Structure 1
Amino acid sequence: MHTGLRITAFAAALAATFGTAYGVGTGMDPIVADGAAPAPHDGHGEPDGPREPTPRPAESGGHGGHESTPPGGLQISEGGYTLDLATSRVTAGRRTELRFTVRDASGAAVTAYRREHDKELHLVLASRDLVTYRHLHPTRAADGTWSTPVDLPAAGGYRVFADFTPAGEDAGNLTLGADLAASGRYRPARLPAP
């Protein structure tokens, strides 16, 4: 049998199978257990009637409710604070001063932090290929600018994670993230084995 004929026969068999499944599915009533009936809904995927509060992730094992917050470090801004990288590009293999500022909702540099694990801010640099990881403790100038020397071994994409708690009664811990590029000769590689 020629290849073209094989492909045509396969496509015809596939179409017949899906056509039969569609016909049977539309011709049958839904199968529901005895005495059970689908719950009424308000059109938005929620049951009608009073609603219970959505459990917090800690209370529900992270699986309850529809509301969830993304993991830290995925956003450059959260809760009115923004990670502002003054240095967004470095050269691989060359020691560079990485400078950044955490800004509040008005755009002003944050200068007051709560100490967590003996530091005001923890900075993590991780390469996109997961090979390079740096946990740094930058220093803060009086104007709110943070700086630390970095020497990244390879060209490519990196993610900067700033973990901190602003001073203030209502302030909670935040982890903000931003992209950092290391220029140089880039050689794509597979992720390392787990």
Structure 2
Amino acid sequence: MDISIVGGHGSIAMLLHPILTEEGHQVRGLIRKEEQAEDLRKAGAEPVICDVEKQDNIAEAVGEADLVIFAAGAGPGSGAARKWTVDRDGAIKLIDAAKTNGINRYVMISAMGTTGEISHENEVFETYLKAKAEADDALRNSGLDYTIVKPGRLTDEEATGRVRLAPGVPRGEIPRADVATVLAEVINNPDTSGLEFEVTSGEQPITEAVREIAS
């Protein structure tokens, strides 16, 4: 399968590239900086320079693919404005690119806390959740075959291979490495199209959890 990933140098994407390439997928990663390119090559992905925040049309950079993944984020050190331009607008630009290029499957890395009334004591984080919520809503209404994955608080701990995964789960943490494995399972299971779910660390093996929610 040919896969294009926006946010190709992000922490989750960099963990995902080797998994996908080892499974035989061809991976293209969209990145902002030329100096990030070698990291992607080492991880098995083809780097494509494309600043989704600044470019209005990213269809050429996305290219021909069977599936796209939105893994970009403004990052924890950024202000509220970039939550809109990256986390929301970048995701919408990928929706437009997918439609332009005839790509039907779209996997979104979202976040817990993006449904219902959104309120948080930290104004920037509240903006982040609202931006993610609007991106999710745009994808739901896009007509694409979407899957929205909503991890809990991300950590850099080693993978456990086990999760708690459902439309709604209690708040918790999850290693980025386990999120990458969840994404790989979603990609390989077309029955996850049309689903959205939250995921934190838990007791159920990832393969089993994804297969169960897709059944």
Indicate the TM-score class for this superposition, using the shorter chain for normalisation: under 0.3
Larger Rg: 1
Higher helix share: 2
Higher strand share: 1
Q: TM-score, with normalisation over the residues of structure 1?
A: 0.22
